[in-house]
Amino acid sequence: MPAPDPSRVVSLLSEPEDRMTAVICDDLISAEPGLCILLEDDAANGTEDRFFTSQTAFLSRAFDPPATGRVQILLRRQDALMQKEEWERGLQLLAAVLQASPEVPVELLALTEQAAQTFATRLRRPVAVLPSKGAPVADARRTVRVNEREGTICSDTAAIDIDAWNWSRLRRTVRFDLSSVQSDDLYDCCQRCNETGATTGAIGENAFLIVVPNGVGLGHLTRMLAIADELSMQAGSRIEFWCYSQGAAIIQAAGYFVHVRHTPKHLGCRVEDWHCWEVSDLVQTLRRLKPKAVVVDGSIIDMTLIEAVRDPLCAAPDIMWVRRGMWNPLANPLPLGGAQYATAVVVPGDLAQEWDTGPTAQVDPRTQGLSITRTTPPITFAIGNEALGKAEARRALRLGRFSRRKTCLVSLGGDAFDLLGGLPRQIAEAAARAKVRLIWVRSPLARVPSPHLVQDDLRSIYPLGRFLQAFDGAISAVGYNSFHELVLRTEFPLLFVPMAHQRLDNQSERARFAFENGWADWLSPEARLQTKPVLDRFFDAVNAGAVFTHRPRIENGAAEAARFLLSPSGGE
């Protein structure tokens, strides 16, 4: 990347936690495209123009080496934390410093016309309004109120911390009810956002950063690949992955750039140290990529991401949270409050969602902040994962030619063999009685399962949906992806075996729902004590070539999810 023209470099100097820094950066860049802004930590003293985001920021650096270029000071009115006498003294000191240094070219600016007139009268100097030349867009922003005493921004249903969002993102999303604002500086900040928000000073590139957590199995990764493919197909979006999963190689094989990340546990380091490194690396990636949104799939939005998107030079990307339902009834509901940091929440639809009995069954709107929620049809991995015909799929899996002997898929999840005790042996014995060949699927993340299994009948298959037609039946765990791929894309007999784990979704209710609708058999917790009748019934159906034509056929929700991510304001 070529070095920026020094005549177009501005060092931006602000007070800590100044919520307007991101807005100011965006407005400066919109008014002067190509401008290079250096934040204080990156700036070299005395070598470029300087922009101070307040008179306090200027006065605190009055004894720094003098600037060789232009100096701009954004004058700020009194805020709620400053006594009037203190603010008056600061203004008097500024006037004295400017009068004592007439050789320094200083331009005085303000956030609003009203503030500019106030300062011009007080200082007897010309004061201009900070320019902004963003591209106009439709102004469909919601109105919110500010509660300065509580330090919150309130909608009709919820409230968020006043600094929970990058304010450049905030002004794209809401309009402030100015009658609710008391302090002068906050009034100016809110009025500025109201007047310039419809021009969206910061609009990320047609790019997305997708965050994949280190979850149980490959569910998060698979959903994100499905959505990434749709974003690429619908809008030609540039996609990069920020991946904590051990399945990063799968993403790379799909053609995407992957930032391979590690958790503190994997690195063996202190969480505090890891947090600082992660935020720093994320900020650098966001500044380079300038994504329209960061899309995170998982049960939480990590604080590293929340902090990183507040960076003033990252183009204020939206946070889009992809969070499935059917949480385990024992799951802690508090992480659902992470929605207060999100612009939108995408809930991948679940065929069994009417039987959701966990905390996701009825989310308290007071915990959702300013986010909007869209529930899509079930999301499955489709593009590039089109199902092969039976002969082609069998050939790809090295299953040999057709025979009268039926073939059954067994996919019980990465660590299922540690959780199921003697069930794999019971399945193998029942299949032997029925003369059905079993093909045991090993997750790319799993250890090799029980040693009594025939190694020739082990396969590591991903993505599974592409090869389903090779089989005459399937025994499967009931994770989100496996359940929906099997129910929506097959007609052969299914037997669902729910896994019980607090980090997993409510697989038992999902399996029971399929059973009650006649889509599949299931091995209930009670049936685990006596598996023979259920297994024999299932393998009889496999041998009989039973066909289940009444299973639902629904459009893949990945397409709708991508459309919503591209234009969330169009689908509240």
Tell me whether residue 549 is in a domain. Answer: no
Q: Are residues 327 and 235 in the same domain?
A: yes
The average pLDDT across 15-28 equals 92
H or E, element range at 562: helix 557-566
Q: Say yes or no to pLDDT of 45 above 90.
A: no
pLDDT of residue 456: 61
Least confident segment among 222-226, 230-234, 238-242, 327-331: 327-331
pLDDT digits (tens, 9 = 90+) for 344-367: 999 999 999 999 999 999 999 999
Banded model confidence at residue 3, pLDDT cuts 50, 70, 90: very low
Tell me whether residue 38 is in a domain. Answer: yes
Distance CA 200, CA 294 (A): 18
Q: Are residues 295 and 338 in the same domain?
A: yes
Q: Say yes or no to pLDDT of 166 above 80.
A: yes
Banded model confidence at residue 417, pLDDT cuts 50, 70, 90: very low
Q: Which residues pair with 142 in a beta bridge?
A: 174
Q: Are residues 407 and 454 in the same domain?
A: yes
Query: Among residues 68, 99, 129, which one ends one of the domains?
Result: 129
Q: Tell me how far apart the terminal alpha carbons of the chain are, to the nearest angstrom.
A: 40
Q: Are residues 529 and 466 in the same domain?
A: yes
Q: Are residues 211 and 337 in the same domain?
A: yes
What residues have CB less than 8 Å from 174, skipping those under 6 apart? Answer: 141, 142, 143, 144, 153, 197, 370
pLDDT digits (tens, 9 = 90+) for 113-140: 999 999 999 999 999 999 987 655 556 7
- Could you give the maximum distance between any two Cα atoms of the chain, in Å? 98
Query: Among residues 67, 100, 129, which one ends one of the domains?
Result: 129
Return the higher-pLDDT residue of 311 and 45: 311
Tell me whether residue 551 is in a domain. Answer: no
Buried b (16+ CB within 10 A) or exposed e, 496-530: bbbbeeeebbbbbbbbbbbbeeebbbbbbeeebee
User: DSSP assignment of 202-214, as one string?
Assistant: ---EEEEEEEE--
> In the chain, how many domains are there?
4
Distance CA 141, CA 135 (A): 16
H or E, element range at 231: helix 219-235
pLDDT of residue 82: 86
Q: Are residues 351 and 492 in the same domain?
A: no
pLDDT of residue 233: 94
Q: Are residues 231 and 360 in the same domain?
A: yes
CATH of the domain at 401: 3.40.50.2000
Tell me whether residue 136 is in a domain. Answer: no
Tell me whether residue 79 is in a domain. Answer: yes
Instruction: Of 347, 301, 297, 295, give the one whose Cα is nearest residue 324.
Output: 347
Work out the mean pLDDT of the chain and round it to a whole number. Answer: 89
Q: Are residues 60 and 119 in the same domain?
A: yes
Distance CA 319, CA 342 (A): 5
Q: Are 371 and 293 in contact (CB under 8 A)?
A: no
Tell me whether residue 11 is in a domain. Answer: yes
Strands of the sheet with 291-297, listed across from one edge: 257-260, 238-243, 205-212, 291-297, 318-322, 344-348, 372-376
Q: Are residues 147 and 291 in the same domain?
A: no
Read off the tokens for 7: 């005549």
Buried b (16+ CB within 10 A) or exposed e, 401-411: eeeeebbbbbb
Banded model confidence at residue 6, pLDDT cuts 50, 70, 90: very low
What residues have CB less than 8 Å from 58, skipping those under 6 apart? Answer: 13, 52, 71, 73, 94
Least confident segment among 140-149, 300-309, 539-548, 554-563: 140-149
Q: Are residues 331 and 460 in the same domain?
A: no
Instruction: Of 133, 295, 304, 251, give the one whose Cα is nearest residue 203.
Output: 133
Banded model confidence at residue 394, pLDDT cuts 50, 70, 90: very high
**What is the phi/psi pair of residue 144, to 5°?**
-130, 165
The average pLDDT across 189-195 equals 93
Q: Say yes or no to pLDDT of 499 above 50.
A: yes
41-45, 57-61, 204-208, 533-537: which has the highest mean pLDDT?
Answer: 533-537
**Containing domain of residue 90, as a range?**
6-129
Distance CA 346, CA 356 (A): 17
Tell me whether residue 135 is in a domain. Answer: no
Q: Are residues 64 and 187 in the same domain?
A: no
Q: Are residues 189 and 211 in the same domain?
A: no
Tell me whether residue 267 is in a domain. Answer: yes
365-374, 416-425, 437-446: which has the highest mean pLDDT?
Answer: 365-374
Banded model confidence at residue 571, pLDDT cuts 50, 70, 90: very low
Banded model confidence at residue 30, pLDDT cuts 50, 70, 90: confident
Read off the tokens for 25: 């950066």
Q: Say yes or no to pLDDT of 1 above 50.
A: no
Read off the tokens for 551: 């299973």
